[in-house]
């Protein structure tokens, strides 16, 4: 199976890893799972840009799927994310996420990925340890 | 029925709970999955422990980490393994942590051969290397652990002293002399296969060279509440949700009608 790497050039949530690290993680994931790694496509740094992702979701390169550094590179917006999943499954392709060691191969995998996003987004609104201590006057 | 008040009080005062879970079947199953992976023959329940205890007689110490990784990858490729791990301690975690939880994506395996200096974990707290103080550790021995074949922990009272004096002590002590300073205060955990240790990983703990004549085998895994503060080990990369309650699902799907 041939997977096209997909790396970011802007931060996502609290992550902003160097591209070298993103590529290393993807390469390691592909090697551990016996996938052929195709040189990564790099998303533009402009906020909310998914131009490169959209392009590679057309799979004109003949690859079998995309290997992300992390699931959190996917769009924050639920509908945009779901559209990507629908497109992938319709084309019988796959999405792989190196950092989380997860993959989207069929419908059953969608829920976990959305849930991880929901938790991450909700968690941003939760109190930090410092906030908790201040509020409880600990 | 567990007494949540007593369990909570003991956990807070001692820094750990040693329990004998009702679900012994899963403990044997976990032990069996591991022994089957490395033993060339099928072993009876009784022989599983003996095989693990005597593992150093068949294992070349220089290849130990390769063997450990082989088993680690194998157990973590089976989703049933982490499900059983959680089920073993579920009723205790409900009391100590909550019932909407995340657990480590991958359960850790520790193998400590007799006289093997490469597997020593010096005194530490997991929080010092990025774990959230809201996490607890579930430690499952696969063999009987005692003395240097086990682990030590500093109780909350002594830990408070340790933390208050840490700034001063860390300037004049290295990790070895710091260890010696508190050595007499450590609680050495004596625990049998069939029992499980749940401990507060903020408390200094660790192990020393195993100078018994048996190999130590243990598993460890961290659990925390879904929405309590995370350390540098995040949801997705390190933790996975294991039960999301309906109120959270409602919250996830709620959209502010005036939001853009």
Domain boundaries, chain A: 2-136
In this predicted structure, what is the pLDDT of residue B204? 95
Q: Return the number of CB contacts < 8 Å for A and B.
A: 48
CATH 3.40.640.10 fits A2-136, yes or no: no
State percent of chain B over pLDDT 90: 84
Look up the CATH number of the domain holding residue B61. 2.60.120.620
In this predicted structure, what is the pLDDT of residue A138? 60
Give A101's contacts in chain B (Cβ within 8 Å). Answer: 105
Task: Give A40-94 pLDDT, tens digit per residue.
Answer: 999 999 999 999 999 999 999 999 999 999 999 999 999 999 999 999 999 999 9
| Cβ contact B230–A123 (<8 Å) | yes
> In A, residues 78-137, which contact B (CB 8 Å cutoff)?
97, 99-102, 112, 115-116, 118-120, 122-123, 126-129, 132
Give B228's contacts in chain A (Cβ within 8 Å). Answer: 126
Is the pLDDT assigned to residue A19 strictly greater than 80? yes
Burial B113-129 (b: 16+ CB within 10 A, else e): bbebeebeeebebbeee
What mean pLDDT do residues B223-246 have? Answer: 94
Rounded distance between C-alpha atoms, residue B113 and residue B108, angstroms: 16
| Cβ contact B248–A120 (<8 Å) | no
Is the pLDDT assigned to residue B255 strictly greater than 90? no
In this structure, is residue B259 part of a structural domain? no
Give the strand order in the sheet containing A102-104: A36-42, A2-7, A65-68, A94-97, A102-104
Higher pLDDT, A35 or B46: A35
| CA dist A28 → A17, A31, B56, B182 (Å) | 16, 5, 31, 41
Burial B31-44 (b: 16+ CB within 10 A, else e): bebbbeeebeeebe
The beta-carbon neighbor of B252 closest among A72, A99, A118 is A118
Chain A interface includes B230 (CB < 8 A)? yes
Is the pLDDT assigned to residue B241 strictly greater than 80? yes
| Cβ contact A119–B226 (<8 Å) | yes
In this predicted structure, what is the pLDDT of residue A137? 67
Measured between CA atoms, the residue of chain A closest to residue B240 is A116
Please give the mean pLDDT across all residues of chain A.
Answer: 93
Query: Coil, strand or helix: which one is B191?
Result: strand
Q: What pairing do the DSSP bridges indicate for beta strands B187-188 and B152-153?
A: antiparallel
The C-alpha of A129 sits at a distance from chain B's nearest C-alpha, in angstroms, of 6
Task: Give B107-142 pLDDT, tens digit per residue.
Answer: 999 999 999 988 889 899 999 999 999 999 999 999
Rounded distance between C-alpha atoms, residue A95 and residue B138, angstroms: 33
In this predicted structure, what is the pLDDT of residue A129? 80
| Cβ contact A132–B229 (<8 Å) | yes
Instruction: Please answer whether residues B17 and B92 qualify as being in contact, where contact means their C-beta atoms are separated by less than 8 angstroms.
Output: yes
- The residue segments making up the domain with residue B147 are 4-253
Confidence band, pLDDT 50/70/90 cuts, at residue B179: confident
Contacts of B68 (CB under 8 A, 6+ apart): B109, B110, B111
What mean pLDDT do residues B73-81 have? Answer: 95
| Region class of B150: left (phi > 0), else alpha (psi between -120 and 50), else beta | beta
The residue among B86, B97, B91, B131 whose CA lies nearest residue B224 is B97
Rounded distance between C-alpha atoms, residue A108 and residue B227, angstroms: 24
Rounded distance between C-alpha atoms, residue A74 and residue A72, angstroms: 5
In this structure, is residue B226 part of a structural domain? yes
In this structure, is residue B163 part of a structural domain? yes
State percent of chain B over pLDDT 70: 100
In this structure, the dihedral spanned by the alpha carbons of residues B21, B22, B23 and B24, taken in order and rounded to 10 degrees, is: 80
Q: Which of B15-24, B39-48, B169-178, B215-224 has the lowest mean pLDDT?
A: B169-178
Please give the mean pLDDT across all residues of chain B.
Answer: 94
The residue among A1, A134, A114 whose CA lies nearest residue A64 is A1
In this structure, is residue B60 part of a structural domain? yes
Which ranges constitute the DSSP H helices of B97-187? 156-164, 166-172, 175-182
What mean pLDDT do residues B67-73 have? Answer: 96
Chain B interface includes A21 (CB < 8 A)? no
In this predicted structure, what is the pLDDT of residue A29? 97
Rounded distance between C-alpha atoms, residue B167 and residue B173, angstroms: 10
In this structure, is residue B258 part of a structural domain? no
Give A128's contacts in chain B (Cβ within 8 Å). Answer: 229
Give B235's contacts in chain A (Cβ within 8 Å). Answer: 116, 119-120, 123
Is the pLDDT assigned to residue B227 strictly greater than 80? yes
| Cβ contact B241–A127 (<8 Å) | no
Maximum mean pLDDT: which of A11-15, A127-131, B119-123, B194-198? B194-198
Task: Report the number of distinct structural domains present in chain B.
Answer: 1
In this predicted structure, what is the pLDDT of residue B90? 97
In this predicted structure, what is the pLDDT of residue B259? 77
Higher pLDDT, B40 or A35: A35
Query: Coil, strand or helix: which one is B90?
Result: helix
Dump the DSSP string for A16-69: ---HHHHHHHHHHHHHHTTPEEEEEEE--SSTT--HHHHHHTT-TT--SEEEES
Give A110's contacts in chain B (Cβ within 8 Å). Answer: none
Measured between CA atoms, the residue of chain B closest to residue A102 is B236
A11 burial level (CB within 10 Å; 0-12, 13-18, 19+): exposed
What mean pLDDT do residues B63-73 have? Answer: 95
């Amino acid at each position: 199976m041939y997977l096209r790497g997909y790396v970011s050039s802007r931060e996502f949530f609290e992550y902003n890893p160097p591209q070298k690290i993103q590529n290393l993680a993807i390469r390691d994931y592909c090697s551990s799972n016996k996938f052929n790694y195709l040189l990564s496509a790099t998303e533009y740094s402009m906020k909310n840009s998914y131009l490169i992702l959209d392009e590679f979701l057309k799979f004109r390169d003949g690859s079998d799927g995309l290997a992300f550094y992390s699931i959190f590179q996917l769009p924050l917006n639920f509908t945009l994310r779901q559209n990507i999943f629908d497109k992938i499954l319709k084309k019988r392709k796959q999405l792989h996420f190196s950092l989380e060691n997860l993959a989207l191969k069929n419908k059953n995998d969608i829920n976990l990925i959305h849930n991880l996003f929901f938790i991450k987004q909700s968690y941003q609104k939760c109190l930090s340890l410092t906030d908790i201590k201040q509020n409880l006057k600990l | 029925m567990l007494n949540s008040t007593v369990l909570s009080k003991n956990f807070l005062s001692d820094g750990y709970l040693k329990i004998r879970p009702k679900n012994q079947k899963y403990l044997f199953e976990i032990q069996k999955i591991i022994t089957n992976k490395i033993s060339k023959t099928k072993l009876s329940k009784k022989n599983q422990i003996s095989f693990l205890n005597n593992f150093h007689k068949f294992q070349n110490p220089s290849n130990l980490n390769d063997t450990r990784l082989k088993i680690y990858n194998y157990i973590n490729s089976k989703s049933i393994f982490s499900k059983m791990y959680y089920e073993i301690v579920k009723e205790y975690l409900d009391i100590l942590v909550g019932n909407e939880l995340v657990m480590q994506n991958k359960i850790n395996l520790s193998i400590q051969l007799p006289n093997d200096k490469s597997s020593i974990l010096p005194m530490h707290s997991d929080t010092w290397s990025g774990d959230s103080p809201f996490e607890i550790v579930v430690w499952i021995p696969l063999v009987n652990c005692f003395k240097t074949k086990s682990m030590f922990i500093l109780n909350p009272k002594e830990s408070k002293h340790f933390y208050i004096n840490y700034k001063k002590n860390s300037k004049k002590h290295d990790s070895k002399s710091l260890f010696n300073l508190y050595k007499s205060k450590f609680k050495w955990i004596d625990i049998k296969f069939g029992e499980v240790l749940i401990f507060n990983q903020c408390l200094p703990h660790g192990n020393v060279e195993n100078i018994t004549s048996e190999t130590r085998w243990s598993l460890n895994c961290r659990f925390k509440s879904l929405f309590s503060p995370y350390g540098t080990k995040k949801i997705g990369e390190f933790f996975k949700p294991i039960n999301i309650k309906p109120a959270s699902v409602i919250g996830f799907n709620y959209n502010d009608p005036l939001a853009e």
